[in-house]
Amino acid sequence: MKADIHPKDYRLVVFQDMSNGYSFITKSTVKTKEVITMEDGVEYPLMKLEISHTSHPFYTGKMKLVDSAGRVDKFNSRYKSRAKKS
């Protein structure tokens, strides 16, 4: 195993699910530009998530359309010319 490959700058970071507002605090090395003040009055770096275990269909049992950044439209526009040929 290689020595000294793991980061040393772990700190407490708030991860917030933007679809339902759920937040949790954990140690991370992620670089963030935003901060948030939690209920304990302490200011933490903030990392925004599109989906977490509280909103993911696998964990909630509810099917939900998750189309991030119009992937279906992007696919259709990219391959529209090929569909006309066949």
- Cβ contacts of 29 within 8 Å, gap of 6 or more: 7, 9, 10, 11
How many alpha carbons fall within 13 Å on the CB side of residue 66? 11
Q: What is the pTM of this model?
A: 0.63
The per-residue pLDDT for range 32-73, each reduced to its tens digit, is: 999 999 999 999 999 998 887 777 666 666 765 555 666 677
3-state helix, strand, coil in the chain (%, to 5): 20, 30, 50
